[in-house]
Structure 1
Amino acid sequence: MCETLKNNYQLCEEIGRGKFGTISRCFHSIKSEFFACKTIDKRSLTDQTDRECLENEPKIMTLLSPHPNIVQLFDVFENEDSLSMVMELCEPFTLYDKIIQRPFSEHEASLYMKQLLEAISYCHKLGVVHRDIKPDNLLFDSRNNLKVADFGSAVWLPEGNCTESGVVGTPYYVAPEVLMGRDYNDKVDVWSCGVILYIMLAGVPPFYGESVSEIFEAVLRGNLRFPTRIFRSVSSAAKDLLRKMICRDVSRRLSAEQALRHPWILNEGTSAIE
């Protein structure tokens, strides 16, 4: 671990662990504040793609900070063996933890979705595509504001109209064009947001299977359904937004900015399509 980090922050208990590193609570004595410190062991990164992600994440987070719905990066420390990023400390639960407790009301789901889309729209305006939007990567601050985290899979696509290829993401949330190996753009994030909205309202994912391959097959079919027993009380406006976000035709899929202007979002989950 970097000596400069130890000189500036007092490391406390571990609060999370990922594939390549750990997240600890840390304390800055001069500021008298607690932060989160994500430390990655560079020696464990044998894959070139993983190394590129390690290099990209602090650069992308620096570009994006600050935004009210994106975890803020404050400091980066690096030596030959490790890289540490000091970020704002969020609550010890994610959107996933909230979802497994119960389905959300449309009003509550719309407020969280608006915050998520605000963050994603901001990313896209700066040419950043997150590529791994899922409930586990959505945190909350002490005032219950949603915060997008984990930009390890993110890429920067300048000009806004460039495309990227390569399978990146998590099975339930990945867009079909990614799985098909086609070039894709920032609308892959909108598909993922749509899947999250579906899960918030239904308590189950729109595409599922007993294995990863079965989930992928369901995503590729993209047969979006609204089972009556689950969606009986869900408004037509919410279903309209879901159809336009979880849309296999990328040219017809809404952008994050367009989704923010949908009546269901503007009216906080209480509107109806006339």
Structure 2
Amino acid sequence: MLQNYVSNTTRYQYIQALGQGNMSQVVLVKDMMKNQLCAMKIILKELLDDPQFALSMKREILIHMNLNHKNVVKLYETFEDDSFLYLVLEYCNQGTLSSQKVLFGENNIFDCFHQILDGIDYLHNNNIIHRDIKPDNILIDNGVYKICDFGSAIQLNCDQFFISEQQGTIGYAAPEMLLNQDYDHKVDIWSLGVVVYELLHLHKPQQEVQVNERLNEDLQILLYAMLTKPHQQRPTCKQVYLCKWFKKMMKQLKLYNKYEHEQLKSKHLNKQIQIKTLQNCCFDLKQAAVSQSNSLTQSDSTTTPMIPNSIQNSTDSLHDSIPIVESPANPQM
């Protein structure tokens, strides 16, 4: 049945089913215009009769349509017909992280770890909390790890720091979220900590976290920090980048650490040390200030995703019930 509906869109050719969820089905299609494979998420429009579900879908699309980062799955297009709502997404050819049934070691965990952190840091710098980081929501495309599924994500207002709406998946959700307490961006740090712990141990952490003592001591310290229950003591993305193990691994692999660079530059400036490139740095900062007035970097897709009328109409009277900021600030690529 879905095959017939997809074929009727003319632009997309149905290839095969990829997965089935409670509210949607994902199929592999070929974009005949661009000659590329895409994943198409298909939602039965009858479900949009539920105002809360319609509002959730609107929020998901509003957030996802503006994202453009190498470690975040792209949303290319949205459209609808009489029966279904379609979201056309970037296709990742290696499936999800949960399908990788291997024990990660210190040598290969960092590649996965830092790419997911890069994606989360990009979201956080745009006031977005994913709220459902887990292996099923990490896709892999030719070795590149990408965050997907923004159905639980929320974008905070500029003056909003904490929320208490319960979301996430049991086993990966932070303690403060499960207890209906106020929480912030650090719930994603907890979830990432659980993901990394599980990859290194092949099971989730227990009530009392016990990290394998054979791991590098600095990595042990980082995992304990990310899985600290009081969120005030849990690190931010920036603090993870600046921890000893992370800095050492980035240097070893010759990866650019933007936060360490900022830290070193600030240290030099605070000591009033004359730097030859100081004028250039100031110029770059001015350029950055100008660029901050823009919204997120536009997708390289020629088609900008739009909010389908069925969702817009269903949520016009409810749009204030959940805060959404449509113009994120401070893009980080």
With structure 2 as the length reference, what TM-score do the two structures score? 0.70
Separation in structure 2 between the aligned mates of residue 137 and residue 5 of structure 1, nearest angstrom: 29
Equivalent residue number for residue 34 of structure 1: 37
Query: How much has 1:68 moved relative to structure 2?
Result: 0.4
**1:79 offset after TM fit, Å?**
4.4
Aligned residue in 2 for 1:83:
85
Matches within 5 A, 1:228-243: 231-243=212-224
Residue 4 of structure 1 deviates from its aligned partner by 11
Tell whether the 8 Å contact from 2:73 to 2:146 is kept in structure 1 after alignment: yes
State the partner residue of 1:61: 64
Please tell me whether residue 262 in structure 1 is matched to residue 264 in structure 2: no
Instruction: Please report how far the alpha carbon of residue 270 of structure 1 lies from its aligned counterpart in structure 2 after TM superposition.
Output: 9.9
Aligned to 1:133: 133
Question: % of aligned pairs identical?
Answer: 31
Residue 36 of structure 2 aligns to which amino acid in structure 1? Answer: E
Query: Which protein has greater RCO, CA pairs closer than 8 Å, 6+ apart?
Result: 2
Q: Helix, strand or coil for the counterpart of 2:88?
A: strand
User: Which residue in 1 is equivalent to 2:148?
Assistant: 149
- Contact 1:127–1:160 at 8 Å: present in 2 too? no
Amino acid at match of 1:148: I
Following superposition, the deviation at residue 48 of structure 1 comes to 4.2
Contact persistence 2:6–2:14 (CA under 8 A): no
**Are 2:7 and 2:14, in contact at CA under 8 Å, matched by a contact in 1?**
no
Deviation at 1:130, TM superposition (A): 0.5
Map Cα deviations across residues 109-145 of structure 1 (whole Å, 9 max, x no partner). Answer: 111110011000100111111100000110011x210
TM-score when normalising by structure 1: 0.84
Residue 188 (structure 2) pairs with residue 189 (structure 1): yes
Name the SS of the counterpart of 1:116 in structure 2: helix
Q: Can you list the C-alpha shifts for 1:207-261, whole angstroms capped at 9, x where unaligned? A: 3xxxxxxxxxx4xxxx2223xxxx1421111111111111112111111222122
Q: Give the letter aligned to residue 225 of structure 1.
A: Q
Letter in 1 for 2:194: V
Mean Cα displacement is larger for which, 26-35 or 169-178? 26-35
Answer yes or no: is the 8 Å Cα contact 1:95–1:135 preserved in 2. Answer: yes
- Tell me the equivalent position of 2:174: 175
Q: Is the 8 A contact 1:106 1:269 kept in 2?
A: no
C-alpha distance in structure 1 between counterparts of 2:35 and 2:219, whole Å = 44
Task: State the SS of the aligned residue for 1:96.
Answer: helix
Q: Report the Cα distance in structure 2 between the residues aligned to 1:18 and 1:238, rounded to whole angstroms.
A: 35
Letter in 1 for 2:120: I
Superposed counterparts of 1:151-166, under 5 Å = 151-159=150-158, 161-166=160-165
C-alpha deviation, 1:160, in angstroms: 7.1
Name structure 1 gaps, 5 residues minimum: 208-217
Q: Which runs of 5+ in 2 are unaligned?
A: 253-333
Compared CA separation, residues 3 and 245, structure 1 to 2 (3 A): closer
Structure 2 residue aligned with 1:213: none
Match of 1:122 in 2: 122
The one-letter code of the counterpart of 1:130 is H
Provide the secondary structure at the position in 1 that maps to 2:107: helix
